[in-house]
Amino acid sequence: MPFIHIHMKKSLFFVLILITIVSCKQNSKFHLSGKILDAKGKTLYIEHSGLMKTTVLDSTKLDADGEFSFKSTRPEYPDFYRLRLTDKVITFAVDSCEDITITAKDKNFATEYQITGSEQSKQIQTLRQSVMNIQEKANALTPNMGADARNAKIAEIEKDIENHKNLAKKLILQNPRSTAAYFALYQQVNNTYLFSPYVQSDAPFCKAVATAYNAFMPEYNRTKNLYNLVLDAIRTERTAKNKEAWNEVLDKQGKGYIDIELKDSKGVVHKLSSLEGKVVLIDFSAYASDQSVDYTFTLRDLYNKYHSRGFEIYQVSLDDNKQLWEQSIANIPWICVRDDNGPNSLVVRTYNIDTAPTTFLMSRKGAILSRNLSFKELTKAIEQNL
């Protein structure tokens, strides 16, 4: 009798698992709910954070109790979403049919929140908090700091980065196909990725995630992007970066831009750094987009109005189709370059481009002045800096 009883309990256990799996597959929605305190009257947004674009899915105006509830279509592959309150963001992951709960306060919305229903999202929270702490210290670096104080702060930041990467590596090794593992590879400090497949010590962890994603989700756009990047690193066998590279990155805090060196349609190499002394609009866009014609005419108006006074456009194409790009730029007067990897290029990752078009305005001295200004604001900013 005891054997029969145990056998029946095991059978019931597996039946329950089967029911759960079937139910999850049939459920086409995931549910996000919770409470945001001290935010009465403010609008809360849920957004899909795609590889190239962030899309608003729904929103709600918060009442005094701060309660909210969203339902959205379950993604085909594990993916990333954001809960946004004004300019503060909580990033979480969705895999299948989670029922996720988030509780937070308006004041420390992006940092001090509680999340349940998604273990991967908890790990992502830990990774984000770690990087935000590092970035806060990096932001404190100023050009007028004394050499000793600056060197001490850089040493402290480097130690924090080392500890953060050890945490991330542990998560990656535990489950390289997890959203937390993928997320860990794309975190940045000072617009510089903490992991790179071109760095010898990082490469095994990048390869682990790329291989796991390619084995289980080969058609996923995130898989293709990461896998191609890792393959490129293997092919080119670039020299590993050393400790001094981080000193250089941190030393440039607040001083300039990340250089770009790409070819135009005629094979001529154009370096962004060669344009120092001019006011430059760095533009990431795609001629294949529906808005391309109107957008190009607007850029042409800016170029015609200000080029003679020292204004230049350095445009990086995100087009996959090289032939379409070449045809589209035949009569373009400004610099337009392209990487053969299109939107999967290292330049796109370096500049943290998640939507197109994305623009940066660079001063004559090479300082990044702004990102994604409206054309009215952009015109004013160009006038002020010429």
Q: Which residues contact 350 (CB under 8 A, 6 or more apart)?
A: 191, 192, 193, 258
Q: Is residue 115 classed as helix, strand or coil in its secondary structure?
A: strand
pLDDT at 97: 66
Q: What is the mean pLDDT of the chain?
A: 85
Domain boundaries, the chain: 23-116, 132-250, 260-385
Fold assignment, 260-385? Glutaredoxin (3.40.30)
CA angle (182, 103, 26) in 5-degree steps: 60
CA 337, distance to chain mean position in Å, is: 22
Report, at the CATH architecture level, how domain 23-116 is classified: Sandwich (2.60)
Percent of the chain with pLDDT over 90: 60
Which span out of 25-34, 156-165, 244-253 was modeled with the highest average pLDDT? 156-165
How large is the average pLDDT for residues 68-82?
94
pLDDT tens by residue, 174-193: 999 999 999 999 999 887 88
pLDDT tens by residue, 316-358: 999 888 899 999 999 999 999 998 887 777 788 777 787 889 8
From the list 209, 252, 207, the residue with the least C-alpha distance to 233 is: 207
pLDDT tens by residue, 201-243: 898 999 999 999 988 999 999 999 998 888 888 776 544 343 4
Q: Higher-confidence residue: 366 or 119? A: 119
